[in-house]
Structure 1
Amino acid sequence: MYSRHPLQPQNVRNLDEIGCSTVHKPVRVIGDIKAKQIGAATSEKREINVSMIACVSAAGTFVPSAITFPRVYYKEHMINNAPPGTIGMATSSG
């Protein structure tokens, strides 16, 4: 393939997207056999996914990451503590 398509490392890229839930899922709770009731606090909120996209070339160069929030308006504080250059955006369709 390389003889037909002589690609350089800076021209080979990998783009990944991941969705992260905003609702906490509790870990398993271990309790005594004699215990009548064991509970864990969970959120009753509806699950919302935040999408993150990253693109890196084989040479190590990258395009700044993008984070998409499911809301109508985007606010700059939503990407506090994100990697430098991260782009934040909002989409009303989720």
Structure 2
Amino acid sequence: MAGKGFFSNFKKRNPDSALRTPEPTSLSRATGFYKAQVNRFYDLLLKLQEQFSFQASQVYNADETGVTTVHKNDKVLSVKGKKQVGKLTSAERSRNITTVFAMNAVGHFVPPMFIFPRAKMEKNGRLMVGAPPESIGVAAKSGWMNGELFLQWLQHFQRHVHSSEAHPILLILGGHSSHKELSVIEYARDHHIHMLRTAQHTTHRLQLLDCAFFKPFKQAYGSAGATWMRRNPEA
């Protein structure tokens, strides 16, 4: 078996190598992302592009992500040897709020939709205080997207992109079951929204929001939460 000597010599022969923490990847993702699946997605994309000649402003990516109610703290400087280092957060246990984002390549974004894990929304609108203008909030006991909520989001999306026969929209999304409801498909067809779904377990490579947006967004959200806690310690 390889020992410390082998590893030391390997490092010398390969100075560019380094120990890294791997990103958790499920078996279904690892086996679901393969050439035939990717080729099928791009074949469908090419077919739609040739048929409708979408401009960049007509192509939107949409996806959901979970936003925690307790921000993740940045690293801090501390004395060596200290066993425990603390930093204020709003709570010790968090809950996830499903948030739906959509944007296109020219920088236009649709105000997000927030799905709160509760039976109904508060009448005073307190849950949406400070949300981006024209965002919408809905309640679901599970806190997850379903067909009824996705139809609400699609209607919200259409109000902001103004799709029509003369101005069709290509909407690229994941393969979640809520995107396949009959009412959703009928609404999209009637309003000239052409939905292209990525294959299951491929969004980590084919969904641009997953690849380029969610990580910096959550980092910025964490920094903003830490700044607010620092400026409002009595809260």
Does TM, normalized by the shorter one, top 0.5? yes
More helix by share: 2
The counterpart of 1:31, out of the listed 78, 98, 102, is: 78
Identify unmatched segments of 5+ residues in structure 1: none
More strand by share: 1
| Higher RCO (CA-CA < 8 Å; seq separation 6+) | 1
2:52 aligned counterpart, secondary structure: coil
CA distance 1:53–1:8, shift in 2 (3 Å): same
Residue 34 of structure 1: CA displacement? Answer: 5.8
Give the partner amino acid of 1:51.
T
CA distance 1:57–1:30, shift in 2 (3 Å): closer
CA distance 1:40–1:54, shift in 2 (3 Å): same
Give the partner amino acid of 2:78.
G
How many angstroms apart in 2 are the aligned matches of 1:84 and 1:17? 19
CA distance 1:34–1:16, shift in 2 (3 Å): closer
Residue 74 of structure 1: CA displacement? Answer: 1.0
Residue 17 of structure 1: CA displacement? Answer: 1.8
1:5 aligned counterpart, secondary structure: helix
Per-residue CA deviation, residues 2-24 of structure 1 (Å, 9 max, x unaligned), is: 77323333542211322111124
Q: Count matched residues.
A: 92
Aligned 1:70-89 pairs, distance under 5 A: 70-75=117-122, 76-89=125-138
CA RMSD of aligned residues (A): 3.0
Give the partner amino acid of 2:130.
N
The counterpart of 1:19, out of the listed 58, 66, 86, is: 66
Say whether 1:5 aligns with 2:51: yes
Identify unmatched segments of 5+ residues in structure 2: 1-45, 144-235
Larger Rg, first or second structure (1 or 2): 2
Give the partner amino acid of 1:6.
F
TM normalised by structure 1 equals 0.68
CA distance 1:57–1:33, shift in 2 (3 Å): closer
Contact 1:26–1:40 (CA under 8 A) maintained in structure 2: no
TM normalised by structure 2 equals 0.32
